[in-house]
């Protein structure tokens, strides 16, 4: 009986130890090579095309071919990219963010003019006017 209780206690305590993999920040001094040209396939219903990009693996850049990923309704996909800051190259992984109804690059939850009519939401009588999109 004691062994069963001990096993159950160990199992219960280990459940909190399971973690999801974290995305590490990748910062390097070596600029990525120029992007490779690749043909863009015909559109596929329910999917979006993510073009090829340079990944960082080990100590060098590795080309990752373009691929199709399934759409997520209400979300926008931001492609992987490299940006230079202070003489170093920072890699941003591709990611999904909540939607952007007016396509101004500002997520809806912080957008000051969701329907893009030029009237701030706080004074707009119809901040989500579907005729303004």
Q: What pLDDT shows up at residue 3?
A: 64
| Contact yes or no for 64/53 (Cβ under 8 A) | yes
Mean pLDDT for all residues in the chain: 79
Q: Is the pLDDT of residue 17 over 50?
A: no
Task: Give the number of residues written for the chain.
Answer: 133
The domain spans of the chain are 23-132
Higher pLDDT, 66 or 24: 66
Tell me the C-alpha to C-alpha distance, in Å, between residue 17 and each of 9, 10, 14, 35, 109: 13, 11, 5, 40, 32
pLDDT, one tens digit per residue, over 67-115 is 999 999 878 888 999 999 999 999 999 999 877 666 666 666 666 776 7
65-104 burial, b at 16+ Cβ within 10 Å, e below that, comes to: eeeeeeeeeeebeeebebeeeeeebebeeeeeeeeebbee
pTM score above 0.75: no
Report phi then psi at 83, rounded to 5: -130, 145
DSSP state of 110: G
pLDDT tens digits, one per residue of 62-78: 999 999 999 998 788 88
Whether 8 shows a pLDDT value over 60: the answer reads: no
């Amino acid at each position: 009986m004691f062994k069963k209780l001990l096993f159950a206690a160990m199992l219960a305590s280990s459940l909190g130890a399971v973690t999801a993999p974290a995305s590490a920040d990748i910062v390097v001094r070596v600029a990525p090579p120029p992007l490779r040209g690749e043909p863009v396939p015909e559109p596929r219903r329910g999917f979006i095309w993510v073009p090829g990009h340079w990944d960082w693996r080990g100590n060098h850049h590795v080309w990752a071919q373009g691929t199709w990923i399934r759409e997520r309704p209400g979300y926008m996909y931001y492609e992987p990219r490299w940006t230079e800051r202070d003489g170093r190259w920072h890699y941003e992984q591709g990611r999904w963010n909540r939607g952007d109804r007016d396509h101004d690059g500002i997520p809806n939850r912080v957008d000051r003019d969701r329907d893009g009519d030029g009237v701030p939401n706080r004074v707009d009588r119809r901040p989500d006017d579907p005729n303004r999109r």
